Amino acid sequence: MKGFHFGPWPIRPNEIFFTSKLSIGLVNLKPIVPGHVLVVPRRIVLRFADLTSDEVSDMFLSAQAIGKVIEREYGGESLTITLQDGPKAGQTVPHVHVHVIPRKTGDWANNDDIYPEIDRKEKELAGELKAPKGVDNEERPPRTQEDMGREAEQLRKHFQQYEDIWN
């Protein structure tokens, strides 16, 4: 299976660094810090309650494994692992996803200030995915496919993959 989506948008295999039976790990188009990645179920599901128990288990076991690598590779001291469930909670892409974000001392003056930043990046990401190619009205441009591909390739070697989607 090589056709992956994040909500309605296709995800290229070079953006994916992790595969499990029911989930994928992908690099972020607009990370709030280096190492901010996403874990999504392979099946497009809008809300957390609509996941099967196997999908919930797989997604969070995947987030746990990914978090260990992200924390080590990006010099984190802790992790923020978060899921915004539904539009009123800040979810802007209609596909359940878990943010895995490495944290360091002093990265935000107030620890909870990360949550408005996640909300802002979610909105930017949704706008970027909907915008025509080459159009970016946000303060920070999205990363290039090349940059995301390099990051995913570096992370990929740290995981045993469920399937080889890259060949």
- At 116 the pLDDT is 74
Q: Does domain 4-156 have CATH number 1.25.40.80?
A: no
Distance CA 70, CA 48 (A): 23
Q: Annotated binding site for substrate, which residues?
A: 28, 84, 90-93, 99
Question: Which residues partner with 136 through β-bridges?
Answer: none
pLDDT given at position 132: 41
| pLDDT of the residue at 134 | 36
Q: How many CA atoms lie within 13 A of 85 on its CB side?
A: 5
Residue 97 designated active-site:
yes
Amino acid 112: pLDDT: 76
Write b or e for each residue in 141-162: b if 16 or more Cβ atoms lie within 10 A of its Cβ, otherwise e. Answer: ebbeeeebbebbeebbeebeeb
pLDDT for position 126: 63
Q: What are the pLDDT tens digits along the chain (167 aa)?
A: 458 999 998 999 999 999 999 999 999 998 999 999 999 999 999 999 999 999 999 999 999 999 999 999 999 999 999 999 999 998 989 999 999 999 999 888 777 778 777 777 677 666 666 554 433 335 557 888 999 999 999 999 999 999 999 98
Select which of 36, 95, 97, 158 is catalytic: 97
